[in-house]
Amino acid sequence: MGMRLLTPALPAQPALPGLPALFVAALVLAAAAGACNRPPDTPQDYVARVMMARAQKDAAFAASNDPVPDNKKPEFLPLGYFAVDPEYNVLAALKPITDDSKLMMPTSTGQQREMRRVGTLEFTLKGMPMTLTAFVEAGAADINRLFVPFSDMTSGTETYAAGRYLDLDRTGSGIYALDFNAAYHPYCVYNASYECPYPPPENRLKTPIHAGEKFKKT
């Protein structure tokens, strides 16, 4: 993610995000900025907006050899997704962790990343109360982007065995839109040169999350 910690996978050494990652990030930021100036989405508008973002991500990945190498494009592009479901876009309250809580997060390369717990996201999904821990990389200068890795009951069957990711921009209110339709696979799924942190046990949801990126049907 980028550095790539706050893009989908972490390289073995810190590096700037590739152009596709920057392009996708710019699209997300533009959408967020526009959201502040428009009326709330109807369900139809929301679905259309998510579908457009997915098409733009496919186009960005298709235009570069990174993160999806050219010889892997037929296998992975267009990316596979669950159908957009507005019920998987929920509000979450971040309960801050005030101590210097850190952990070593295993990764796909066998190395470990030192991460700091920022807080616990508390939310209700389809009537079930749940929590996920939000992280930043320990020692990171920029802590305005939260990293939320998770696994669920689709992991290893319909989605990547080690889990998927969500990224959140810090808010002053502590309230977040937790949109599982935006859940994505780490880049190491497409490219072994990337290093992917594995979600810790506290972020293993005991329910299937049929939203966001999934494996394409074969």
- Band of residue 194 on the pLDDT scale cut at 50, 70, 90: very high
| Res 175 pLDDT > 90 | yes
Query: Sign of torsion, CA 82 192 112 4?
Result: negative
pLDDT of residue 99: 85
Main-chain dihedrals φ then ψ at residue 171, nearest 5 degrees: -120, 150
Distance of alpha carbon 122 from alpha carbon 127, whole angstroms: 13
Structural domain boundaries in the chain: 10-214
Q: For position 141, what pLDDT does the model report?
A: 78
- As a whole-number percent, the residues of the chain with pLDDT over 70 amount to 81
Flag whether pLDDT at 156 surpasses 50: yes
Instruction: State the pLDDT at residue 98.
Output: 85
* Residues 134 and 146 sit within 8 Å (Cβ to Cβ): yes
Q: What is the mean pLDDT of the chain?
A: 85
**Which one-letter amino acid corresponds to residue 77?**
L
Mind giving me the DSSP string for 97-146?
A: --S--EEEEEBTTS-EEEEEEEEEEEEEETTEEEEEEEEEETT-S--SEE
Rounded CA gap, 26 and 32, in Å?
Answer: 10
pLDDT of residue 135: 96
Q: What is the pLDDT of residue 183?
A: 98
The answer on pLDDT for 49 being more than 80 is yes
pLDDT confidence of 143, banded at 50, 70, 90? confident
Mean per-residue pLDDT, 150-179: 97
Q: Assess whether pLDDT exceeds 50 at residue 195.
A: yes
Confidence of residue 182 (pLDDT cuts 50, 70, 90): very high
pLDDT tens digit sequence for 60-115: 999 999 999 999 999 999 999 999 999 999 999 999 998 888 999 999 999 999 99
Reply yes or no on whether the pLDDT at 33 is more than 90. Answer: no
Residues contacting residue 150 through CB under 8 Å, at least 6 positions apart: 132, 163, 164, 165, 166, 183, 199, 203, 204, 205, 209
Selected residue with higher pLDDT from 130 and 15: 130
